Amino acid sequence: MQTLAQLKSGELTGAKRLALSENLTSFPLEILTLADSLEILDLSNNQLSSLPEELGQLKKLKIIFASNNNFETLPQVLGGCVSLEMVGFKSNQINVVPDNSLPIKLRWLILTDNRIEVLPDSLGKRPRLQKLALAGNRLTSLPQTLTQSTNLELVRISANQLKQCPTQLLNLPKLAWFAFAGNPFSQADINIQSVPEIASSSFTLENVLGQGASGVISKATWNNRQTTLPDDIAVKVFKGEVTSDGYPEDELQACLKVGNHKNLVQSLAQVNEQGYLALIMSLIPANYKNLGLPPCFNSCTRDTFPSGFTLSIEKIAKIIRQMEDVFSHLHENQVCHGDLYAHNTLFDQQANIIFGDFGAASMYHMLSEEHQQQIKQIERRALHHMIDDLLSICVEEDQCSDEYILFKQQICH
């Protein structure tokens, strides 16, 4: 994080990245002194409600973040930024998205947690659009022009007011990661009680193991020994608010609907108290590590991996077979995971995997048979992308093996 004082003094001359969070109420025009270099501008966590026309002078600007501000309208000036590819205005009060506010090179749009009821037709006329995050708005429909979004790969429309299944998305040729829970058209008519409800006073949270958009996972210990549940547990306490993927309640129900599988994080119990929603799970052994890293700006929707990280085709094949079994289990239970990625997968030295993170999961048993098949096909693309990503880290000497070639052929058909 830099400071406005640094900017004004000229200390940041030539900077490619700038992040300012100083309770700003107006756009500092000194930012324009970086017009020849600035590529990433982060103005999140301020009090801004508008951007000046001069923003268009930032000819190299590729990414702008302005989350947690006071915008009610997505600024039209964004549409004139010739190099802008990623726009993130999460958690504002946006209720108007002007037709000309979307840059022509747009690849990645984040408007999560706003008040948007209608989106412009121009959204479907941005041919490079790959990633679209719209969870937590008031949308009652989506533009029909999205049928033209042939490069769209990831969509988050959970926690809106969509009354009809958005069929204009279901036949898109590249859509692979799709989250749609928490809408009237996907309203679940079941309340799953596949695990017991317990009191939050039954356990004590200890060290944090990890956290994501929807909650914090901690190691925990029982306050009184449980005779029917394992001693070693982890607890995910949900944040109780709409996230980039949707409502925590939908995540919990999808988790419970899927049930148990040897390669999934095992759900043991739930807490469903006023203001406290939690899932108790088996503690994953410490020797399991993340298989991949989340996408970056350049990869957009595809996983990344640590530099130099490789696996033998034998281990890759074992991981793929387990993921295919997980995929079948999910869809036998009519749940679309929505985030099928290597970075949501843990593995050990023997290539045994544990898959988790149901934040983007959506139940689809209430949809028509045709739509159910389309949802399954969408997620199958995600599985093929994951296989392709794993093959990209295969050790060179195994890349001529029969198994490697077979997997390559599988994802090409």
Q: Which domain holds residue 316?
A: 289-411
Count of alpha carbons within 13 Å of 396, Cβ hemisphere only? 1
| Residue 311 and residue 357 share a domain | yes
| Residue 325 and residue 256 share a domain | no
Q: Which of residues 62 and 214 earns the better pLDDT score?
A: 62
Residue carrying the six token digits 């406005």 = 4
Closest among 120, 290, 257, 141 to 190, alpha carbons compared: 257
Mode of pairing for the β-strands spanning 154-156 and 131-133: parallel
Span of 133-142, 176-185, 193-202, 283-292 with lowest mean pLDDT? 193-202
37-56 pLDDT per residue, tens: 999 999 999 999 999 999 99
Q: Which helix (H) or strand (E) holds 169?
A: helix 167-170
Please indicate, yes or no, if residue 209 is contained in any of the structural domains.
Answer: yes
Closest among 74, 197, 77 to 137, alpha carbons compared: 74
Q: Which residues carry a binding-site annotation for ATP? A: 236
Please indicate, yes or no, if residue 72 is contained in any of the structural domains.
Answer: no
| Residue 335 and residue 260 share a domain | no
Closest among 320, 290, 328, 289 to 389, alpha carbons compared: 320
Span of 29-43, 246-260, 364-378 with lowest mean pLDDT? 246-260
Among 282, 306, 341, the domain-final residue is 282
Reported confidence tier of residue 143, pLDDT bands at 50, 70, 90: very high
| Residue 305 and residue 240 share a domain | no
On the question of pLDDT at 391 being above 80, the answer is yes
Q: What is the pLDDT of residue 84?
A: 98
Q: What is the pLDDT of residue 214?
A: 83
**Residue 187: CB atoms within 10 Å:** 12
Mode of pairing for the β-strands spanning 215-222 and 203-211: antiparallel
102: tokens are 């979307």
pTM of the model: 0.94
Reported confidence tier of residue 29, pLDDT bands at 50, 70, 90: very high
Reported confidence tier of residue 228, pLDDT bands at 50, 70, 90: confident
Reported confidence tier of residue 295, pLDDT bands at 50, 70, 90: very high
| Mean pLDDT for all residues in the chain | 94
Q: Which residues carry a binding-site annotation? A: 236
| Residue 401 and residue 311 share a domain | yes
Q: Over range 190-210, report the average pLDDT.
A: 88
On the question of pLDDT at 249 being above 90, the answer is no
Determine contact, residues 33/56, Cβ cutoff 8 Å. Answer: no
357: tokens are 């993170």
Q: What is the pLDDT of residue 211?
A: 83
Rounded CA-CA distance 22/341 in Å is 36
Q: What is the pLDDT of residue 224?
A: 87
Rounded CA-CA distance 129/336 in Å is 22
| Burial (Cβ within 10 Å: 0-12, 13-18, ≥19) of residue 112 | buried
Reported confidence tier of residue 411, pLDDT bands at 50, 70, 90: confident
Reported confidence tier of residue 331, pLDDT bands at 50, 70, 90: very high
Please indicate, yes or no, if residue 64 is contained in any of the structural domains.
Answer: no
Q: What is the pLDDT of residue 193?
A: 74
Domain count, the chain: 2
Please indicate, yes or no, if residue 116 is contained in any of the structural domains.
Answer: no
Residue carrying the six token digits 């504002």 = 92
| Residue 311 and residue 384 share a domain | yes
Determine contact, residues 181/246, Cβ cutoff 8 Å. Answer: yes
How many H-runs (helices) and E-runs (strands) does the chain carry?
Answer: 6, 18
Q: What is the pLDDT of residue 154?
A: 98
Determine contact, residues 204/235, Cβ cutoff 8 Å. Answer: no
Q: Would you call 7 helix, strand, or coil by DSSP?
A: helix
On the question of pLDDT at 282 being above 90, the answer is yes
| Residue 360 and residue 322 share a domain | yes
Closest among 107, 60, 116 to 88, alpha carbons compared: 107
Please indicate, yes or no, if residue 278 is contained in any of the structural domains.
Answer: yes
Backbone φ and ψ for 392, nearest 5 degrees, come out as: -70, -20
Backbone φ and ψ for 234, nearest 5 degrees, come out as: -125, 150
Among 251, 282, 313, the domain-final residue is 282
- CA 361 remoteness from chain centre: 10
Among 222, 252, 282, the domain-final residue is 282
| Residue 333 and residue 264 share a domain | no
Q: Which helix (H) or strand (E) holds 375?
A: helix 369-391
